[in-house]
Amino acid sequence: MKFIFLFIFTFAFNSVYAVEKQVGIYAESINLTEHAAEKQGIGTNLRSIGMSVSIRKPWLENSAFQYSLGAGISSGKDQDTFSQEVTTGFSEAKEQESSILGFSGFADIGHSTEFFDHIRTYLGIGSSYFSIERQITDCTDCERQDIDISFAPYLKIGMEFCGQQYCMQANYRQFITDEFSNGVFISFQGRR
């Protein structure tokens, strides 16, 4: 057991290969199960856009550990809308309907293998986190209702195409929870 730990520690943390860092933007679309969406009164799809960071730590010539983090804004379709009268500035009061909006984030870790100098495959695990609510946008005293779907662990498989300065990644996420089913993720990142 000591030798296995020593082997992993030696290659994971003392690699002679350069660490690659990427920073960029991402878009994702995540599908909820019918039961979870119906229970929360939202549509079966959440969409997010945001910023992401990836670190690729090679441990062999064409293999690397890859870590990714991201944070963004998420929205979805509101199936149980409510409305309130809202006054903006000096205008008359208007009825406005609620919408689904909030913040999201993700973190994952996995193994990346490079083929043909510019194409990489990726296999990993991670989790998304959602803090979304039913709300009327741009209204400070209006009603807000929390949507109770937050933690979403997943398995991830994907590909990455890299040029000299930029990478584009596309992956599929299979969630391992009763609330989420699957999702797709696309990112465009600059290499550092």
Mean pLDDT of the chain: 89
CA quadruple 105, 107, 108, 113: dihedral sign: positive
Cβ contacts of 181 within 8 Å, gap of 6 or more: 31, 32, 33, 175
Q: Kindly indicate the confidence band of residue 80, based on its pLDDT and cuts at 50, 70 and 90.
A: very high
Span 15-67, pLDDT tens digits = 567 899 999 999 999 999 999 999 999 999 999 999 999 999 998 888 999 99
Instruction: Measure Cα distances from 29 to 87, 147, 188 in Å.
Output: 33, 17, 15
3-class SS of residue 162: strand
Q: Give the pLDDT score at 103.
A: 96
Domains and CATH numbers, the chain: 21-191 (2.40.160.20)
Q: What is the DSSP string of 44-103?
A: EEEEEEEEEEEEEEESSSSEEEEEEEEEEEEEEEESS--EEEE--TTSPPEEEE-EEEEE
Q: Kindly indicate the confidence band of residue 7, based on its pLDDT and cuts at 50, 70 and 90.
A: very low
Q: Give the pLDDT score at 14.
A: 53
User: Is the predicted pLDDT of residue 90 greater than 90, yes or no?
Assistant: no
Q: Are strands 119-135 and 166-175 parallel, antiparallel or unpaired?
A: unpaired
